[in-house]
Chain A
Amino acid sequence: MNALARAAAAEWLKLRSVRSTWWFAGGALLTMLLVAALEAKDTAVFLRKHGLPVEPVSSVVEGLDWVQLIFGSLGMLAVTSEYATRSIMVTLACTPSRTRLVLAKVAVVGATTFLAGGLVSVLGVAASAPVLRRYWEFDAGQVTGRILAIAAYLALVAVLALGLGTLIRRSAGALTMLFALLYVLPIGLQGLATSLNAEFLNTLAAYTPMPVGERFIAGEAASGLVLTAWAAVVVAAGLWVMRERDA
């Protein structure tokens, strides 16, 4: 095994050997099942009323607003829990290359959250199906594409949060930043656009992670690249800080 693969194997072992990982996974699943089942009817009626197509993932997309923060927390904790417990010292003793360590964490968190995200959305579709199937138009190819995009979205949010965790090192600060980036930034920019009468701020708001993610899930591949760029830039900034600052 090369050095990166060894570091990734260690990260995977660490991720699955703490109970909180499984609590997060269970929490995300339960949240998604509840929201998808309970929101199914309202979502379908709302979409119908506005002449929009009802898809099998429509209710799951509603659930993402809630579930993405759990995925983000999981990604962030892969770094911040190590600073909080000082076990980062042991991790860096084993893998002194900061670049290799961050890449290993990104790979493990990305792959895990992608698979978990896919599973959560498939089960979410199943949970909403009893109500939603009276409204939806089912296209197996389209559903598969949507679910893959949702899984990728959740994985990218988790990696973005991992980058914030590397940048800020503390859970509270990183989580606040994640919340601000996802929810506050687009609304704030839109508000500013109205009060300053500056249209370009609306355009800017449309390129923040969540609106970009919505368009990506709706089938816009280019938006997926913008979201990937967000995650890549934040991770790169975190890596830079990790290399410059003492552990």
Chain B
Amino acid sequence: MLNFLLRILRSVLVLLGVGCLIFALIRLAPGDPVTLLAGPTADIQTVEALRIQLGLDQPMGVQLLKFLSNALRGDLGESLVHRRPVLDLILYALPQTVYLSICALFTALLVSVPAGLVSALRPSSAADRLAEGVVLAAQSVPVFWVSILLIQLFAVRLGWLPSSGNDQWAAVILPAFALSILQWPLLTKTVRTAAISVGSQDYAKTALAKGLSSKRIVFIHLLRNMLVPIVTIIGLQTGAMLSGSVVTEAVFAWPGIGTLAMASLLARDYPTVQGIVLFSAAIVVTISIVADALSLIIDPRLRS
């Protein structure tokens, strides 16, 4: 329990660290941060008003504290483009990103679990080589490029699926598939390693020696022990998933946080980008806590 409380405390410190990094980034950039934050079109009065409003006339330390305490209270500033609180924009786009991510994760599991199991159970078989080839290819192709090819093939040439947006239910298929490709390599490797390691444990041999049914051996004795590393890696991959969704959403014009981020970035809407980075970090940290909690439930050894 103490461990878990420390874990949460640590996550708060991690988030504060992220806040400091973002804070430093804007201030290290060449030029006046107020000009950056106010946007290129703002006149002198607006800039000076914003400087006082943001407290940028005050010492660095005070600015940092104000920035962090605002962020902790959920005040991520105001978008320059939309003239609305950044948090509102994020919360509006969030469900779309969550939906897309879950679909992508599900697709990735559909690919990685069989691929990982095949290469663990039948090493050097044709199926193993195929699985490995697919994973190596997935690791090597640029996802945005594959996305374009997918659009060209399925949306333009064959006309089976919509190429962008989220107006139809089928619109999620292509972006979810593209986003899932990022997850294949690590997830497959994790499933494979977990299967090999669990299968070579003494307790697996014990289960066999007890004459239990194969179903019980696999589902009760082995699967549960395999879950911990898989849950952990899914938790750790949240960051990469969010990174990937910036690119994927932008290519497919999927109206989630990624598209918002890319549009804000290209429009030099720094407060929004900054807010999205902080918010994403918070999601990553929260999900890794959830993953840890799940591991505790699955494996009683971790509790002591």
A complexed with B: no
**Residues of B bordering A, CB below 8 Å:** none
**Residues of A bordering B, CB below 8 Å:** none
